Amino acid sequence: MTTITENNIFPLVTDEQKQAEETWRKSIPAQVFLNYFFAINYHIQEYDDEAGGLQHLPYFRAHQAELTDTDVQAITKLLHACWSTEYALRTTAELGDEDYLRNALHWTFPQAYHTIMAGLQGFLYTTGVRSNNPSLVRREVGRLVVKNAYPRPVSFYAAGPYGDFSIHRLPLAGYKAGLHIAAKEIDAQAQIGQFLRTTRRMKAQWTRQQVQANPNTALRSQKTGKLLDKWTASHWQQITWRLGYTTIFDLLGRLQISQTSREIERYVEAEIDFKLFHQSLLNIVSFLNGIHESYIAKAVGLARYQQIVAELPKHLQNSFVAERLRSKVEPLLTGEAPTQMNIAA
């Protein structure tokens, strides 16, 4: 009997498969981040209808302001910052291929955040809040979200102490979020709910660090007088008021990732759909900026707002700014159907 020795033994898992699995594993954080922003965009598209528009909100209908020429100039400056940053974001999204968009995250993340914040500051200016302090801005806009100043697609928020968060205006947020792109509204709400909870958890932990680092605010043991090492539910409840509400604007704050941090590199090196990521961001930006522009136009008067748009720098002439004025702002304030317009390339 002849014994045959098999020398060509192939591994069950090849090096290529191992590399692919490692790439996938490293891509999970970036994929989850993409899922979150895609879910927000999906939810906006799902609920952006006539019934959920600004015109039905009592807060919007009652919105007015007494503004001086100096006030209008300050608001115009904020609008210019908002629109120029959105212009830069749109240019990147339109020009870039997959590799370009991958590396563009270094600047498109902060661009998406700052264009929305500039428009938000312009809106808050008309409500009497005239500050660029990020904490103050977040607190004030949180109150406005809860007061139903924002339409249904972006009116969700989280509240409550650490360990006992509650999600509002997202009835499906309690379902378990998956690792896949949202295909149904239940997927989108589950992922937004998870995003709200993780963001509020981070905010609570950061707030505790700030409170405990200050001798005047730090919580101490009643027995020893030393700083608390272990926190109970009652201790977390004592600092809940400092958290305010966690809204879509806190979620957008997660885009403030330092260009020098290792976290941004995780996204750049990941294997995700970067075009989809940029498109989702751009849609969210356009939706929120349109809301703030509508409030500002109502406060300064439609004719004055039209003048502001007409006098824009050349690169913003006949652009997305004029298109939103035509399709969103003017119909909202006049009750008339949008007029036709040719948008410059």
Q: What does the pLDDT read at residue 267? A: 79
Q: What does the pLDDT read at residue 28? A: 75
Position 4 confidence tier, pLDDT thresholds 50, 70, 90: very low
For 92-111, how does the pLDDT look when each residue is reduced to its tens digit (9 = 90+)? 877 767 788 888 888 888 89
Q: What does the pLDDT read at residue 24? A: 43
From residue 235, how far is each of 21, 40, 219, 280 by CA, in Å? 42, 32, 8, 38
Tell me if 294 sits within 8 A of 328, measured CB to CB: yes
Q: What does the pLDDT read at residue 303? A: 97
- Beta partners for residue 157, in sequence order: 168
For 209-257, how does the pLDDT look when each residue is reduced to its tens digit (9 = 90+)? 888 888 888 888 877 778 887 888 888 888 888 899 999 999 999 888 6
For 322-342, how does the pLDDT look when each residue is reduced to its tens digit (9 = 90+)? 999 999 999 999 988 777 655
pLDDT averaged over the chain?
A: 87
Q: What does the pLDDT read at residue 333? A: 94
List of residues 6+ apart from 224 with CB closer than 8 A: none
Q: What does the pLDDT read at residue 9? A: 43
pTM above threshold 0.85:
yes
Q: What does the pLDDT read at residue 340? A: 61
CA angle 165, 166, 167 (to 5 degrees): 125
Residue 307 is inside which H or E element, if any? helix 302-310
Q: What does the pLDDT read at residue 2? A: 47
Burial class (CB in 10 A: 0-12, 13-18, 19+), 8: exposed
Q: What does the pLDDT read at residue 233? A: 85
- For the chain, strand residue ranges (E) read 157-159, 166-168
Is the pLDDT reported for residue 279 higher than 60?
Answer: yes
Instruction: Residue 125: name the closest of 58, 80, 66, 56 by CA.
Output: 66
Position 345 confidence tier, pLDDT thresholds 50, 70, 90: very low
List of residues 6+ apart from 27 with CB closer than 8 A: 270, 271, 272
For 100-151, how does the pLDDT look when each residue is reduced to its tens digit (9 = 90+)? 888 888 888 889 999 999 999 999 999 999 998 998 999 999 999 999 999 9
Is the pLDDT reported for residue 263 higher than 70?
Answer: no
Position 19 confidence tier, pLDDT thresholds 50, 70, 90: low
Interatomic CA distance for residues 274 and 294, integer angstroms: 30
Is the pLDDT reported for residue 58 higher than 80?
Answer: yes
